[in-house]
Structure 1
Amino acid sequence: MYASSPQSSRRDADDPQIDIVALGIVTAAIILFVATGSAIGPAVVRSLAGEGPGPDNFLLNAFLLNIAIIIFGWSRYRELCEEIIEGRAAEREARHLAETDSLTGFHNRRSFNHSVEALIDRAVTDGKAVAVLMVDLDNFKQVNDYNGHATGDRLLVECARRITAALPQNTVVGRIGGDEFAVAMAFDRLQSEGVDRTAAALVQAIAEGSRSSSTTIEVTASIGLARAESRTTSAQALLEMADVAMYHAKRQGRNQFSWYEPQMAHEMRFRADLEAGIRAGIPRGEFVPFYEQQVDLQTGELTGFEMLARWDSPQFGIVAPDIFIPVAEEIGAIAELSRSVIAQALEDARLWDSRLTLAVNISPIQLRDPWFAQKLLRMLVEANFPPQRLEIEITESCLHQNLGQVRTLVTSLKNQGVRISLDDFGTGYSSIGQLKQLPFDRIKIDRSFVSSMLDDEDSAAIVKAVATLGEGLHMPVTAEGIDTQDVLDRLRQYGSITGQGYLYGRPRRAAELGEWLSEEGPADMPVPQTPQAPDTQQAKRA
């Protein structure tokens, strides 16, 4: 397995020349030493024997100087050799740093591409194919935001260890982005099942919980796969196709893998159009609030409205939030989008009867902002809207991600009179104990339980239990998804509950709502006796 970048053993072209020059000087000095020594040697011997005069002084001085040159030259030659060795080591280290990810020891993007190109050449020669797996950690940014970058780095090192352990031999692996890893492996063209097993093993290995200090960090991975069977497919093209497949796996629910298919490229172009449209549409005011009625089920009296965001796009028409909200969250535009529609809703609701409340959904990403409460309260002041008439809805997933920060925000808003509702109760990770820890004002029963309660005994039992729980805690309950008269009749058996759903009408624009309110008034709302078919394309969350 190539766990780090390959090293080159090439010597610098000038190194042999330096060796030859230094060695040549020493060799010349030795030859001169032999020549002068042979000239003065006999004279020295005769002089010592008393048989004649000593050697010529000039030759003697030349001989001694030659000895000094030999000593100096040899010393310099040794120094040059040591410098060359150190230079080669520094060169290898520089090349290693340039080709290797310092945190994990894997290839970086550049060296990974080179290694994959070589792998493709070898595989094609052997009649095999090459698969590239793009591995992206899901929601890794939250780890850095909540636990710090040092914890994030430790998690990356742990994931790198798990990836290495899950891969077969002779596999190229690299870290090509902040939380993105890439794997390349050769396989039999007719047997891709081994690649599937490797991808599944990676998903399973990364999904194992990791502990940092006293905190357990949950992380999963989405993996995209692409294959090459000829040299015409470059490493960069493989990475791009695997990247497209990886995003497809994320859109399908994450924590899974998916092979690249050509139609996915069209999905990516559509996704790019969505992203560009969202960024451009927010300042243009294309995101507008719609309103769904909330009604006292026993009296039929209108009690307020839930604000639901819609995208009035000139390119796509009216777009439901289940399409654009996830995209806005991923590209970091959800806070600005939400601020825009909430500001519009506050202006609309300020003109309603003072008994009507306004409920707005808050994205889990917004609750990561420690200044969110202050920003929301400032919006209330700017709109001159009473905090007591505003109710924000928080999903259970927010509690699971960062209970401490949510508690701080909730307390800050509650102190100013804003009411807090726990949305989608029963679908997430919260417990009854958290209802006591956090000062919620309302529980909302998820529409999935309400809409199926007539046909599913478990759903009916859950709805009844939540209604009983709310009564016991003296906490109002709202049921979502009331689409038929039969569901309404069943819910009325559970006591004082507020409800909303298509039985009471579709969500409406502010202008349409204003006309209706001026004609009917909140206390005169008619309760329809015939059900309206639910619009399955419209999601309820903003």
Structure 2
Amino acid sequence: MQQDASANTGSSRTDTLSGRVTRSRDFVVGGIMTAAIVMFVGSAGSVLPDALGRIYGQEVSPDNIAVTALLLNIALIIFGWRRYGELHREIAHHKYAEEQAKTLAVTDPLTGCLNRRAIGEASANLIAQAARRDMTVAYLMIDLDNFKNINDIQGHDAGDKVLVEVAQRLKATMPPNSHVARLGGDEFACTFIFDADFPETVQRVAEDLIEQVSKPITGPASSGTAELTVTASIGIARADQCENSLDVLMRRADIAMYASKKHGRNRYCWFDPRMENEVQFRNKIESGMRIGISRGEFVPYYEQQIDLNTGMLIGFEVLARWNSPELGQISPEIFIPIAEDTGMIGDLSASVMRQAMEDARGWDQSLTISVNISPVQLRDPWLAQKIVKLLVETGFPASRLEIEITESCLFENMGLAQSIIGSLKNQGVRVALDDFGTGYSSLAHLRALPFDRIKIDRSFVTSMNESKESRAIVQTIALLGESMGLPITAEGIEDGELIAHLAEIGCAKGQGFHFGQPLSIEQARRLLAERNMLGLGWTPQPVPQDDAEPLTEPQLRAARGE
């Protein structure tokens, strides 16, 4: 609002200065014309009769000086009249330019909606009007789901077409005396007055907006034209529950919008105070993570990987764990999504991977480590180089490292995935296709990418005893791996009775809680020492006791948004 006030003040000063210049020019031109007319009237009375008499043949000799003065007066009148007309055209043009500048200052140039600054002022005016009428204001924050895919796949022309069409649909759907704004990117805002006793009015508007936005849009695409489809996630807040504070209203609508996205997209959510608690808790975790990564608070834990035919330990999967001095034990289910959303996942993964390589460097050379790569990391074209750099700096053999990539990663950018996997393979790193069979499965991926291993998702393995379908899926994947020469790893083995069956159908390697919980570095070293698989120079250390208390169940539920 302060920016609005400053802009309005600057605009009023410009208008005042312009008005002074205009009035000054009007005065000068008006003065010239008035003087010319007075002189014309004064001289015309004596000169015109003589001039007319001369024209009609009378013996009259008009005063040449007086005639010259008369002609000069006429010329001044003509000049003044023309200048007066030019001045008025100039003023009209100047006013038009000022109006255009004012319009551009409050309007989004692409969609014609209000811009971020203007919707704030418009909403403040609506709140004042609603208060006088014993009503309130609804503020709807709207974000288009998966809009980035349209820009990336179909091009920015298609993205602009979608934004323009969505803006028109929003304007057409909103009730009278409402405001629609584009806040930037693919975010919009709508605001209108409603009766506080009938919130269902707002819900109907939100439902109509979702329905209209989701209709296909025909627009330009990379291959001609295409039907472009987006959906909308909407967050709603009401002014009477925000003490009519515009800043609080907009922030709460934004929080509710992110809740809509979190709960499945293509829907609306009213703001709930618990959402704000969740945001505050998330921000606390995010701040703790930024400090914790640099302090080395994120450490690797090791889940055993077993040869199902011999029962021998052949490696570990590396898992990230965080025991924050301030927040306690934070589940990976909480901090991994936050790391991905905030872009910290790359630094977090590199820190844990470096520690794991340094830990495992002195272990028995037959032991491997497997590291899972986030879909966000696979968007980084320098990922392979960063991993190779860690191998060089730690001295860990590339042949003992296996990178696990989930199938969902491959749909975003197959070309980049091929490049990264190819670079890793050239350095001797093995690559596994993780969570195979979870719904993204495609034989094209197995043909197009040089994987070394397939990992069956734990959901199928853990339900094999109860579900014939799961048992059939596991057996089919094992046969597929055998036919393509790809070893199979079964995750989620919790029942020892499954081991013989998994080995029989062709699963070479397995992991799961049946073989033990993930181990800290000290626990892993003790295990390896017992099996004579640990290098020299290590002496057992007392297992440290965690001072920090784990998060309570309500805190965990709040962090997950439950």
Q: What is the TM-score normalised by the length of structure 1?
A: 0.86
Distance across 2 between alignment mates of 1:142 and 1:213: 12
| Partner residue in 2 for 1:293 | 304
- The correspondence for 1:260, drawn from 268, 271, 281, is 271
Q: Does the 8 A contact of 1:43 with 1:52 survive in 2?
A: no
2:256 aligned partner, one-letter code: A
| Partner residue in 1 for 2:120 | 113
1:120 aligned partner, one-letter code: I
1:213 aligned partner, one-letter code: S
Distance across 2 between alignment mates of 1:343 and 1:203: 46
| Partner residue in 1 for 2:288 | 277
Distance across 2 between alignment mates of 1:326 and 1:167: 35
Q: Does the 8 A contact of 1:47 with 1:53 survive in 2?
A: yes
Percentage identity across paired residues of the two chains: 50
2:276 aligned partner, one-letter code: A
From the superposition, tell whether residues 364 and 189 of structure 1 become closer, same or farther in structure 2 (CA, over 3 Å): same
| Partner residue in 1 for 2:72 | 65
| Partner residue in 2 for 1:4 | none
2:129 aligned partner, one-letter code: R
- The correspondence for 2:222, drawn from 191, 207, 213, is 213
Distance across 2 between alignment mates of 1:44 and 1:152: 76
| Partner residue in 2 for 1:245 | 256
Q: Does the 8 A contact of 2:488 with 2:506 survive in 1?
A: no
| Partner residue in 2 for 1:342 | 353
Aligned residues, how many?
A: 517
| Partner residue in 2 for 1:81 | 88
| Partner residue in 2 for 1:398 | 409
1:320 aligned partner, one-letter code: S
Residue 392 of structure 1, CA deviation: 0.6
Distance across 1 between alignment mates of 2:425 and 2:514: 32
Q: Does the 8 A contact of 1:120 with 1:230 survive in 2?
A: no
From the superposition, tell whether residues 457 and 522 of structure 1 become closer, same or farther in structure 2 (CA, over 3 Å): farther
Q: Trace 1:508-523 onto structure 2 (pairs within 5 A).
A: 508-521=519-532
Distance across 1 between alignment mates of 2:374 and 2:475: 28
Distance across 1 between alignment mates of 2:384 and 2:216: 32
Structure 1: runs of 5+ lacking an equivalent: 1-7, 524-535, 538-542
Residue 304 of structure 1, CA deviation: 0.8
| Partner residue in 1 for 2:342 | 331
Q: Does the 8 A contact of 1:468 with 1:494 survive in 2?
A: yes
Does 1:423 pair with 2:430?
no
SS of the residue corresponding to residue 189 of structure 1 reads: coil
Q: Does the 8 A contact of 1:424 with 1:445 survive in 2?
A: yes
From the superposition, tell whether residues 247 and 518 of structure 1 become closer, same or farther in structure 2 (CA, over 3 Å): same
1:86 aligned partner, one-letter code: H
- The correspondence for 1:227, drawn from 238, 258, 281, is 238
Residue 521 of structure 1, CA deviation: 4.4
SS of the residue corresponding to residue 76 of structure 1 reads: helix
From the superposition, tell whether residues 390 and 218 of structure 1 become closer, same or farther in structure 2 (CA, over 3 Å): farther
From the superposition, tell whether residues 326 and 195 of structure 1 become closer, same or farther in structure 2 (CA, over 3 Å): same
Does 1:305 pair with 2:316?
yes
User: Which piece of structure 1 moves more, 360-369 or 446-455?
Assistant: 446-455
| Partner residue in 1 for 2:51 | 44
| Partner residue in 1 for 2:5 | none
| Partner residue in 1 for 2:549 | none
2:249 aligned partner, one-letter code: L
Does 1:176 pair with 2:183?
yes
Deviations 1:490-528 (A, max 9, x none): 5455333422111211111112211210112469xxxxx
Distance across 2 between alignment mates of 1:365 and 1:216: 28
Distance across 2 between alignment mates of 1:28 and 1:231: 65
Distance across 2 between alignment mates of 1:144 and 1:283: 35
From the superposition, tell whether residues 172 and 380 of structure 1 become closer, same or farther in structure 2 (CA, over 3 Å): same
Q: Does the 8 A contact of 2:406 with 2:436 survive in 1?
A: yes
- The correspondence for 1:358, drawn from 369, 379, 384, is 369
Distance across 1 between alignment mates of 2:180 and 2:431: 48
Distance across 2 between alignment mates of 1:434 and 1:67: 90
SS of the residue corresponding to residue 295 of structure 2 reads: coil
Deviations 1:467-499 (A, max 9, x none): 222222221111222223355465455333422
Distance across 2 between alignment mates of 1:218 and 1:511: 52
Residue 256 of structure 1, CA deviation: 3.1
Q: Does the 8 A contact of 2:47 with 2:67 survive in 1?
A: yes
Deviations 1:173-214 (A, max 9, x none): 111133321111333323323433433444455556777313
From the superposition, tell whether residues 198 and 389 of structure 1 become closer, same or farther in structure 2 (CA, over 3 Å): farther
Deviations 1:62-99 (A, max 9, x none): 21211111011111111111110111111111111111
- The correspondence for 1:476, drawn from 487, 490, 498, is 487
Q: Does the 8 A contact of 2:138 with 2:237 survive in 1?
A: yes
Q: Does the 8 A contact of 2:324 with 2:330 survive in 1?
A: yes
Does 1:447 pair with 2:458?
yes
Distance across 1 between alignment mates of 2:397 and 2:216: 44
| Partner residue in 1 for 2:36 | 29
SS of the residue corresponding to residue 282 of structure 1 reads: helix
| Partner residue in 1 for 2:478 | 467
Distance across 2 between alignment mates of 1:340 and 1:207: 42
| Partner residue in 1 for 2:99 | 92
| Partner residue in 2 for 1:195 | 202
Residue 346 of structure 1, CA deviation: 0.9
SS of the residue corresponding to residue 507 of structure 2 reads: coil
- The correspondence for 2:425, drawn from 414, 418, 425, is 414
Q: What is the alpha-carbon root mean square deviation over aligned residues?
A: 3.0
From the superposition, tell whether residues 165 and 296 of structure 1 become closer, same or farther in structure 2 (CA, over 3 Å): farther
2:72 aligned partner, one-letter code: L
1:372 aligned partner, one-letter code: L
- The correspondence for 2:136, drawn from 129, 137, 150, is 129
Q: Does the 8 A contact of 1:29 with 1:66 survive in 2?
A: yes
Q: Does the 8 A contact of 2:302 with 2:520 survive in 1?
A: yes
Residue 158 of structure 1, CA deviation: 4.8
2:329 aligned partner, one-letter code: I
From the superposition, tell whether residues 20 and 173 of structure 1 become closer, same or farther in structure 2 (CA, over 3 Å): same
Residue 143 of structure 1, CA deviation: 6.1
Q: Does the 8 A contact of 2:321 with 2:332 survive in 1?
A: yes
Residue 246 of structure 1, CA deviation: 1.8
Q: Does the 8 A contact of 1:289 with 1:510 survive in 2?
A: yes
Residue 420 of structure 1, CA deviation: 1.0
| Partner residue in 2 for 1:528 | none
Distance across 2 between alignment mates of 1:522 and 1:161: 68
From the superposition, tell whether residues 511 and 135 of structure 1 become closer, same or farther in structure 2 (CA, over 3 Å): same
Structure 2: runs of 5+ lacking an equivalent: 1-11, 535-552, 557-562
Distance across 2 between alignment mates of 1:161 and 1:355: 64
Distance across 2 between alignment mates of 1:201 and 1:245: 18
Q: What is the TM-score normalised by the length of structure 2?
A: 0.83
From the superposition, tell whether residues 231 and 497 of structure 1 become closer, same or farther in structure 2 (CA, over 3 Å): closer
SS of the residue corresponding to residue 48 of structure 2 reads: helix
